[in-house]
Amino acid sequence: MHDLIRTITLQDYNTRVVVFGVAALGIACGLVGTFMLLRKRALMGDALSHATFPGICIAFIIFQLAFGTGGKQLPVLLSGATVTGILGIGCVLLIRHSTRIKEDAAMGIVLSVFFGFGTALRGVIQKLPASNSAGLDSFIYGKTASMIASDAWTICIIATLSAAVVLVLYKELKLLCFDDHFARGIGRSVVAMDIVLMGLMTVVTVVGLQAVGLILVIALLIIPPAAARFWTDRLGMTALLSAMIGGFSAVCGALISAVVQDMPSGAIIVLVAAGVFVFSLIFGVKRGVVARAIRRAKAREHLDSDNRTTASVAS
């Protein structure tokens, strides 16, 4: 009991670092995810995060071969992740624009081929003499507990920067999401804005890899904004709510994972987010299932009473 209170009140240094880091990550993902969702590119994060895996492995192998050790230097691995991640997004766009293959198949091709190549490289790494590849798995499933203060600060800086970019380019991003033809019409470069958005997504995904893993970081980009949509129709409000839901899920998940044994933090963060999503889906005041059912019932009643009036007038 004492431990529980210690953890929840953040008296423990390690817990404090982790909670601080994942909260920043959740907020950043929620913010960026809002625009990805509205741009109808929700699953682009899926392709991107899978495409980072071979980069991590290549960076690991190169370092291992060149320096003997040190292949687990985080900045090195994350640079590799960024390179193949961007390459992956580039391939999706290239396939979509230069062939007749649709975007969903293009994303599927990139994510499966890149990730498949990554697993093959991981197989190579496991056979390398004197290498410890155990750390690589934390990029797939995530390992919040391994987060140290400098990681948390990195995530925090990235989150602040993305928030700043979103604030500065708010009007442009809004235009991009709701009416890209109009944006083109008034002379804004849709391509440049798309690149900014994809860049933001790449950055938050790469820093999120280590915390929640490459499969579950997708969830942090998709679930909070989708949940926020049930509460409001205003973009600013959606982005704010989405960031809050992202941060809330991350903090709850990290705390639960710290208190309960054998609870992988990445997965529990996603489940908390999913819980918030289901709650919003049912009770959301704007587009929730209950709210819409009530609106429908009211409309029917109104229609019925109108019909009764008409009928009585007619008779």
By CB under 8 A, residue 66 contacts another protein? no
Determine which residue in the list 4, 157, 164, 289 makes contact with another protein, applying CB under 8 A.
289
By CB under 8 A, residue 241 contacts another protein? no
By CB under 8 A, residue 294 contacts another protein? no
Interaction mask 148-187, another protein, x per CB under 8 A: ----------------------------------------
- Residues that bind another protein (rule: CB under 8 A) add up to a total of 61
By CB under 8 A, residue 226 contacts another protein? yes
By CB under 8 A, residue 107 contacts another protein? yes
8 Å CB contact between 209 and 78: yes
8 Å CB contact between 205 and 45: yes
8 Å CB contact between 173 and 238: no
Interaction mask 187-206, another protein, x per CB under 8 A: --------------------
By CB under 8 A, residue 40 contacts another protein? yes
By CB under 8 A, residue 115 contacts another protein? yes
Q: Is 234 exposed, middle or buried (0-12, 13-18, 19+ CB in 10 A)?
A: exposed
Q: Is 69 exposed, middle or buried (0-12, 13-18, 19+ CB in 10 A)?
A: exposed
Distances (CA, A) of 32 to 44, 93, 224, 268: 12, 19, 10, 21
Q: Identify the CA nearest to 175 among candidates 189, 165, 164, 162.
A: 189
Structure tokens given for 130: 């004197």
**Residues in the site for another protein, rule: CB under 8 A?**
37, 40-43, 45-46, 61, 65, 95, 98-102, 104-105, 107-109, 111-124, 127-128, 137, 140-141, 215-216, 218-219, 222-223, 225-226, 229, 262-264, 266-268, 270-271, 274, 277, 281, 287, 289
